[in-house]
Structure 1
Amino acid sequence: MEEQDLVDIEVTHDDPDNLVDSYSSGVADFPFHRQTVVANRLLAGQPDTELRSLAGVDTEQVKLLEHQVDAAHRALFDMDGKALLADEVGLGKTIEVGMILKEMHYRETDGSVLILTPAQLAKQWQGELREKFGLEFVCNYDDEFRGFNAHDRIIASIDTAKSERHRPTVLAREWDVLVMDEAHYVKNEETDRYDLIEQLTYDYAFFLTATPIQNELTDLYNIVTLLRPGLFGSRDTFHQYFIDSSQDTLVNQNELQRRLGQVMIRNRREDTDIDFTDRIIETRTFEPSIGEKDLYDAVTEYVRGAYSQDSGQKLVLMLLQKEVVSSPAALEGTIRKQLDEQHELTHRDELETILDKIDAIESVTKQDRLFDIVEEARNHVEMGRVIVFTQFRATQRQVLDGLDEQGYTTHAFHGGHSSQEKEEIVDQFREEGGVLVSTDAMNEGRNLQFCNIMVNYDLPWNPMKVEQRIGRIHRIGQKREVYVFNMGLKGTIEEYVLDRLYHKIDLFQQTVGELSTILTRMEDSGQSFEDEIFERLVNADSEVDLENDFDSMAIDLGQQQELSQKVKAFNNGVFESFDLGTDDD
C-alpha cells in the first residue's frame, strides 16, 4: 500500500458535534489527491463512465442483473476502484468482480491482477472468470503455475500467498489490482493474513464478504482500514466514537453508515428481483449386502489399526475410508497401488484379505438403487436429465458401465478433459439429455441450470464441496424446483455424516457463504472438518462411543450455526438503513 499520513483525532466526549466535524474533515481530505490519480487512470481515454465492456459478455453464459451492474459501476467510478462488495449471500458478488475486471481489461488498467481466495474456492473463481467473462487466470494449483512473479493474472489461496515460500515474491511486486474474496478472513489484525494484505502494494482493490462483521465491530474497522487506510481514523477513535463500551452497542450509526457509503456496496435479497426456486432434498440410505458390510468392517478395522501405528499415513487411510462407501472399484485401485509400491508393507496380509472381500461382492447396492432414481427421472422429467456426482474416477467408470448396460444416454465429465472437451460434454448433455456422471471437477464454476436433478452418489466430508455441487444447478437462472438425492449405506461413516452432522445443521438448505462462516469458526482450532470426522472414527472404542462422538460434533456445529446466525442478525442491524441508493439528486 501507499504510505499515507494517518490522522490522529483528539476525541472529547464533551463536544460530539466538534468530534464529527474534525473526524470528517481530517480523514476525508488526506486521500483526495490519490483518489484523483486513480480516477484519472480509470477514465483515461474514455469520454464517459459507461461500462463499455459489457457488450462483449456472453449473455448465454451469464445473466447480468441490475444490482450487479450497478455495483460494478459504483465500485469503479463512484469509489475510484477501491470498494467492499458486501452483498448478502447468493446475489453474485463474483459476477460483480467479473464485470469490474472485464471493464478494467477493456480500459487497459489491469496489467497485473492478484485474486486471493480461500483454498477451496480458487479453482471455482478461475472457472467462472474464464467461462463467463473470457478472462484467463492461472491458479496456484495449476501445473503451469511458476510463481507469483511469473504471471500477470493470478488466482491463489491466501494461505499459499502468505506462506514463507511465496510471501517475499508476492510483496516484492506492485500489483495493479487486488481482489480479496471472503474478506472476513483478514478481520484479525494479529494474523499473517492481515499482515500480508497490509503490506501489499496495489492501485485498485475489491474486497468481498457477505459478513463484514463476524464477532465485533472491530472486524469491520480492520477490513475497511486495509481497503481505505484512514477512513475511520485510528482504532481508538473508531471505538470511542462508534461503540458504547459500557453496553457494547453501536452508537452514532448514521455517521458510521455515511462513512461506509464511501467504500461499501451492500445489496439485500429483498431489494432485488431474484426469485430462487425451492430445493427439495431426499436422503436414501440402504442396507449393504452381507459382502459389502463385511468389506466395510474389514477396511475400518485396518484403518484404525494402521493409524494407531503410523499417523503419517493419515491421507491414504482417510482415502480408503471414503472409497469403501463409494465403490469396490475405487477401493480396489488404491489397495493394489499400495501393494505394488510397498513390497515390505507391514499390513500386506490385511490388504490382500480386503482384496479377496472385494472379489466376493457380486452386485453393488448403491448402483442398483441409482437405477431407480434415474428411471424416475426418465419417466417424469424433460429429457430425463440427471447429474450424478462421485469423488472417484473408478466409481465413475463403474457407474457409467452400469448405466450403459441399462440403455441410458450417458456422459462422463472429469478433470482429465481439456477445457474444450468439457464445453462439448456439457453441450451434449444439454442437447441429448440422459445422465451425466461427474467427478468434483464439475465444481469449477459450471452453470447447469438446464438440469434440476442431482444425485450425491458418495458424499464429501467437507460440506462446502456438497453445496458447491448443488450450486451447479440451484443458482440464479434456475426456473424449476431442484431435487437432490443423497445416497448412503446404513451402518457406515456415510450415514453418520449424513444423519448426525449434515442434517443437524440443515446443511442442504445452507449456501456457500453461510457454510463458510460456520466452518471457519469450527476450524479456527487448526483442524479441518474432514480431519475431525476421521479422528472421531478411528479413535472410537465402540459403536456407542462413535455415536456419542458424532453427537458431540453435531452440538458443536449447532453452536457455530447459532453464532453465525447472530452474526448475520448483527450485520443486518448495522446495515439496516444503509443507503444503497444511486438516486439522482
Structure 2
Amino acid sequence: MPSDLPIPGQRWVSDTEPELGLGIILKAEYGRVEVFFPAAMEQRQYALKSAPLRRVRFHEGDRIKTSEGQQLLVTTIEERSGMLVYLAEGQEVTEAQLSDTISFSKPEDRLLAGQVDENATFDLRGEALQRRCRHRQSAVRGFVGGRVDLITHQMSIAGEVASRLVPRVLLADEVGLGKTIEAGLILHRLHLTGRAQRILVLVPESLVHQWFVEMLRRFNLLFSLFDEERCVSIEQNDPTANPFLDSQLIICSTAFLSGNAQRAQQVLAAGWDLLVVDEAHHLEWSHEAVSPQYALVESLAKQTKGLLLLTATPQQLGPEGHFARLRLLDPDRYDNLERFMEEAEHYEQVAKAIDRLIDGKPLTKSDRTVFGQKSSRIRQRCDELAAGDEKARAALISDLLDEFGTGRVMFRNTRAALSGFPERQAKLVSLDAGKTGAELEAKIKWLVALLKEFAEEKVLLICRTRELVEEISERLQRELNVAVALFHEELTLLQRDRNAAFFSEEEGARILICSEIGSEGRNFQFAHHLVLFDLPEDPELLEQRIGRLDRIGQTATIQIHVPYLRGTASEVLARWYHEGLNAFEKNPHGASEIVRALEKDLAALRQKFSAAKLEKLITKSRDLSGKVAKKLEHGHDRLLELNSCKVGVAEELTRQIRALDTDEKFEHFVIGLLDHFGVQVEDHGVRSYILRPGHLITDAFPTVPEEGMTVTFDRTRALSREDLGFVSGDHPLVRASLDLLLGSERGNTAFGMWKGGGSEGMLLEIYTVVECIAPAALHADRFLPATPIRVVVDHALADHTDDEAVASAKLEKGDIFRLLDRGAVKKKLLPAMLEKAQAMAAERAQRLIEAANTAMTLQLRNEIERLEDLRQINDHVRPEEIEAIRQQQTDLQAAIAAAQPRLDAVRLIFRVPGVA
C-alpha cells in the first residue's frame, strides 16, 4: 500500500483484480479500506496495510477517458484537497468523472525507462495469461478442483445444474449416492465463476461439522460455522452489526435459526446468492400447518435466486410432503397438489415413448399425435427423424424429457440404474424372551454373542432413542469388555465428531451405538455389520439407516442383523420389511404408497399379533410392492433415471477433467510459479511435493505454513491420502499466485539478445489482454475471459507473430541502454513498433469480441427459444427464468461490446548476426 493514504472519493485500482476497473474509495478507517468498483458492481474490503491497491494518477501527455466516453489529452494536473483534477484540451476533469472501465498497466513506460525483468519472468507471465484465460473459460472450472472420484451420475447432475444461470433444484439421489458431493461440485463452480458469492448452507445440527469438513477437504472452501455464541461475539464488537454479513460462506443449523426470531430476521436481511438445505425432508408442510423450519426456508427461498434442496427420501412424508419441497423451488409452478398428482399419471406413456426411441424405433402414430400437437419442437424432430436424420433421435429424446417428463427441478439416481454397489444380506434373528418376557435382555444377550463371533469387526448399531442408546451401552459393558462409542442428540457436536472418529480408527471403538440421528448424513462405509436393534415404522427411514453403510466406497457385503422377539410387534415389522417388501436387501421403491395402503392392517397386527394375519399381510405386501415398483419403473422412476444421468454429458466433462489432471506442463508451470515467488519446493514422490515458505519475495503471497504443506497433482493419490493437498487450476494457492503475478508489474517488461538470429535488427513482442469488465454474476468469462493476444513486429513493422524461430529463440541478457541511448530508437522506432503492434492486437481483439458476442447470442437465444417452447406445454419453466436469461443477454451484449485490449507486457529483442 503506498504511503499516501486513501481518501473517500479518490480513484484507485486493484493490482490483483485489474479487470474490476476503477474503484471509488468509500471509507478508510480502523485499519481497513472499503472500495466500490462501479463497472463490475463489486464492493471490496481490505486491510489497509496489505491492500493490493494503487492510486490512479495520470501524467501530462497521457490520454484519459471520461464517464461520457470522451478521450482527452492531459496537459496539466492539479491536486485540490487530496483530489486530482486534470486539465485536458480546455476542460477540467475531476477524478470522479473518469470512466469506470479504465484499467491500468504501463509496461511501455517501464521499457522506455530501461526497467526490465528477466526473460524467464516475462515468459512465465505470458504462460500465466494463457492458462488463466483457458481456465476461466473452461466448462469444468470449479469441477476439476474437487477432491472427488469422477463418478458418472454425479458429474452429469453437477454439469446440468451448474450450467443454469439460477439453479433451483431438488437433489434426491438414493442414500449413499453422493448428494453432498453433487451439491459441493455445483456450489464450487457457481462460487468460482462469480454467480454465487454469498452462500448459506442449512443442515441438521448433527451435520454442521461434517459439512464444514467436506467443503474444506474436498473443495478448499472455508465456510464459517454460525451459532448463537458466534453471533454474540460479533455483536460485542459492533452492536449494530448484522452478524451474517461477517462472512460470505456460512453453515449453520436449521433449528438454530428457526428457533430464534432475531437471528432469523438477521439471516433474511443479510441477502444470499445461493441457499443449500440438506435433509430437506425434515421441512414439514401441509395446508393446515407449517413447521418453523419450513417457514424459515420458504422465506429465504423467496428472496434467494439459487436454491439446492437435498434429500434421499423425497416422498418420506408422502405426495403432500414431496409437493411441499417442490413448491419451495417454484411456488408458481407447484401451486396445486391435485394437479401435481394428476400429472404423474401420464409419466408411463412418456417413458414408453422414450424407450422406443432408445431401442432405435420411431414414435408411434399415437405418440406423434399426443406429443406433437402440443409442441412444435416435437413435430420438427419427428419430421427430421422420419426423413432419415438419426441425429434428431437424441434431440427428440431430450425434448420429450424436457417438455413432458418429470421436469427440470428434480434429479434422482437410484442403485437400480447404476452399478458397482455392494450386496446387502439380511440376517433376521428370532429371539425368545423366556420366562422373564424381557425383550431388551434377550437382545443384549444376543448382541454379546454377535460381538464375540465377529471379534475383529466394526459394528454399527442404530436404535430409536438416546435413552435406549445409553441403556444398551451400560448393559453391554457389564457383559463384555469391549470399546464402545456413543452417538446421540444430547452429545455436543464436538463429542459426536470425536466418537465417530474413535469408531473409524483401526484400534478404536468396536461398536458405535447411535440413536436415530445416526441414520442421517454420517458415513460409516468402513464398517460392514449393521445392527438394527429396533425398527422404524417408516421404510424410508429404514433405508436411511442402512445407507450409513450402503454407499459409494463400501467394499464388502453388508451384513444387516435384525433381532426380533417372536410373537410381538417387532416380529411384525421385521418380517413385513423382509418378506413383504424385501426392504433390508433392496431399496423398496414406492414404499410410502405401500405404507399408506396397508397402514391400518399393519397397525392392527402390531397391536395384537396373529401369525395367520401376518402371513396374509406379507403376501398382500409382496403383490402390492411388485405392482407399485412396476408402475414406477415404467413411469416416474424411469423418467428420473433418463433425466438424471446423461452419460454423454458426464463423459465429456470427465474427459476434460482427465486431460487437465494429466497435464504435466501445468504441473511444471505451477512449480515454476511458486519458485518465482520464493516458495521452497521439494520432491515427495510421483507428482507430489513439499512446499515451504522459503524466502518469499512478497508478504502478499498466500500463507504457506512454516512446517510446510504436502501437495500432489495426482487425483488418485489425493483421494487415498487426505494429508495431501490436491492441486489444480481451482486450488486457492494457484489462483492467488496467478492473481498476484498478473496484478503486479513482474515480468511485464523484458529485454533479450538473440545471437544468430539473422541480420541485425529489433523485434518487439507484446501481450495485450482483452478485458470484459462485467458483474461477476454474468459469468462473462465463459464467452470472453481476460484473453491474451501475442503480437511480434520488427523494426520495419513486419509481422513476426507466427515465426517459430522467434518463439523458440534462446535469449540472453543484454544492456538495453545501448539501444535506448540511440535517440532514434527511443523516440521514433520503438513508439512506431509499439503503435503497429497494438494496432494489430486491436484488430484481433475486435474479431475476438465479435466472435464472443456471436457465441453468446447463439447460446442464449437457443436457450430462450427452448424454454419458451417448453413453457407452452410444461410450466416447470418459470417466467422469471426466461426473463433472467433475456436480461443476461442484454447485459452481456453491452459488456462484451465495451471490452477493450489492454497492453500487459512488452519485450524488446535485439537480433545480433553471427553464430548462436
Q: TM-score, normalised by structure 1?
A: 0.58
CA distance in 2, matches of 1:423, 1:162: 35
Match of 1:367 in 2: 444
Larger CA deviation: 549-558 vs 441-450: 549-558
Match of 1:534 in 2: 603
Match of 1:65 in 2: 150
1:580, CA displacement in angstroms?
2.7
**Residue 526 (structure 2) aligned to one of 450, 460, 473:** 450
The equivalences for 1:120-135 within 5 A come to 129-133=211-215
Aligned: 1:487 with 2:559: no
Match of 1:217 in 2: 347
CA distance in 2, matches of 1:424, 1:576: 36
Match of 1:417 in 2: 491
SS at match of 1:290: coil
Contact 2:444 2:472 in 1 (8 A): yes
Counterpart of 1:216 in structure 2: which amino acid? Answer: H
Distance 1:184 1:46, change over 3 A: same
Distance 1:196 1:256, change over 3 A: farther
CA distance in 2, matches of 1:255, 1:197: 27
The equivalences for 1:89-238 within 5 A come to 89=174, 91-107=177-193, 109-110=195-196, 129-133=211-215, 137-142=251-256, 145-146=259-260, 150-151=266-267, 153=275, 155=277, 156-157=280-281, 160=284, 170=299, 173-181=302-310, 197-199=329-331, 215-217=345-347, 238=374
Match of 2:629 in 1: 561
Counterpart of 2:593 in structure 1: which amino acid? Answer: R
The equivalences for 1:185-584 within 5 A come to 197-199=329-331, 215-217=345-347, 238=374, 254-259=394-399, 275-292=420-437, 327=440, 364-378=441-455, 381=456, 384-405=457-478, 406-431=480-505, 432-511=508-587, 515=588, 517-522=589-594, 533-538=602-607, 544=612, 548=616, 552=620, 555-567=623-635, 570-571=638-639, 580-581=648-649, 583=652
SS at match of 2:444: helix
SS at match of 2:137: coil
Residues 46-76 of structure 1 show CA distances to partners (whole Å, capped at 9, x for unaligned) of 833465556875x5xxx43242663365235
Unaligned runs of 5+ in 2: 1-40, 43-131, 217-222, 224-249, 334-342, 352-369, 380-391, 403-407, 657-916
CA distance in 1, matches of 2:459, 2:424: 15
CA distance in 1, matches of 2:260, 2:423: 44
Q: TM-score, normalised by structure 2?
A: 0.39
Counterpart of 1:92 in structure 2: which amino acid? Answer: G
Contact 1:522 1:557 in 2 (8 A): yes
1:492, CA displacement in angstroms?
0.6
SS at match of 1:459: coil
Residues 87-133 of structure 1 show CA distances to partners (whole Å, capped at 9, x for unaligned) of 975643442122212333445543676889xxxx9779867644422
Unaligned runs of 5+ in 1: 1-39, 202-212, 222-233, 244-251, 296-324, 328-363
CA distance in 2, matches of 1:100, 1:552: 43
CA distance in 2, matches of 1:198, 1:456: 38
Contact 2:464 2:516 in 1 (8 A): yes
- Please say which structure displays the higher CA radius of gyration: 2
Contact 1:171 1:200 in 2 (8 A): no
Distance 1:196 1:441, change over 3 A: closer
Match of 1:24 in 2: none
CA distance in 1, matches of 2:303, 2:191: 17
1:484, CA displacement in angstroms?
1.2
1:279, CA displacement in angstroms?
1.9
CA distance in 2, matches of 1:77, 1:549: 46
CA distance in 1, matches of 2:611, 2:196: 57
Write 1 or 2 for the structure with the bigger share of strand: 2
Contact 2:171 2:412 in 1 (8 A): yes
Matched-pair identity in %: 17
CA distance in 2, matches of 1:162, 1:137: 27
SS at match of 2:136: coil
Counterpart of 2:470 in structure 1: which amino acid? Answer: R
SS at match of 1:282: strand
SS at match of 1:497: helix
1:437, CA displacement in angstroms?
1.2
Residues 291-328 of structure 1 show CA distances to partners (whole Å, capped at 9, x for unaligned) of 21xx7xxxxxxxxxxxxxxxxxxxxxxxxxxxxx5x3x
Distance 1:75 1:386, change over 3 A: same
The equivalences for 1:49-64 within 5 A come to 49=138, 59=147, 63-64=148-149
Counterpart of 1:376 in structure 2: which amino acid? Answer: E
Match of 2:362 in 1: none
How many residues are paired up? 424
SS at match of 1:102: helix
Contact 2:568 2:606 in 1 (8 A): no
Distance 1:475 1:83, change over 3 A: same
1:419, CA displacement in angstroms?
2.0
1:501, CA displacement in angstroms?
3.7
Contact 1:500 1:551 in 2 (8 A): no
Match of 1:47 in 2: 136
SS at match of 1:178: strand
Contact 2:503 2:512 in 1 (8 A): yes
Distance 1:73 1:442, change over 3 A: closer
Contact 1:281 1:483 in 2 (8 A): yes
CA distance in 2, matches of 1:560, 1:125: 33
CA distance in 2, matches of 1:54, 1:577: 17
CA distance in 2, matches of 1:200, 1:127: 35
Residues 321-372 of structure 1 show CA distances to partners (whole Å, capped at 9, x for unaligned) of xxxx5x3xxxxxxxxxxxxxxxxxxxxxxxxxxxxxxxxxxxx111001111
Counterpart of 1:175 in structure 2: which amino acid? Answer: T
CA distance in 1, matches of 2:534, 2:625: 22
SS at match of 1:285: strand
Counterpart of 1:409 in structure 2: which amino acid? Answer: A
Distance 1:279 1:181, change over 3 A: same
1:389, CA displacement in angstroms?
1.4
CA distance in 1, matches of 2:512, 2:641: 44
CA distance in 2, matches of 1:458, 1:449: 21
